[in-house]
Amino acid sequence: MTLALLIPALILLAFYADGQTNLAPPRRSLIYAESWNANRSDAEIVAQQTIDAKIKADYAAEKQRSYKRLEKRLGM
């Protein structure tokens, strides 16, 4: 009978202890948003999109290279 009472008590204690771990407030995170002039021309918009696309493509290429290096290290 002791064992039958002890096991559920331990499970409830584990749930209580787990619930106490997330009591800290979440950390603040900053979100930066770009501010643009309302009267930009279409050429300025396209030029900025071209720059952003190049940055995104460079990031994707670097990520792919890092996966290739990992693949070679793991012998895949």
Q: Which pLDDT tens digits describe the chain residue by residue (76 residues)?
A: 999 999 999 999 999 888 777 777 778 888 888 888 889 999 999 999 999 999 999 999 999 999 999 999 998 8
| One-character DSSP codes across 7-76 | HHHHHHHHHHHHHTTT-SPPPP---------TT--HHHHHHHHHHHHHHHHHHHHHHHHHHHHHHHHHT-
Would the pTM of this model clear 0.75, i.e. be above it? no
C-alpha Rg value of the chain to the nearest Å: 27
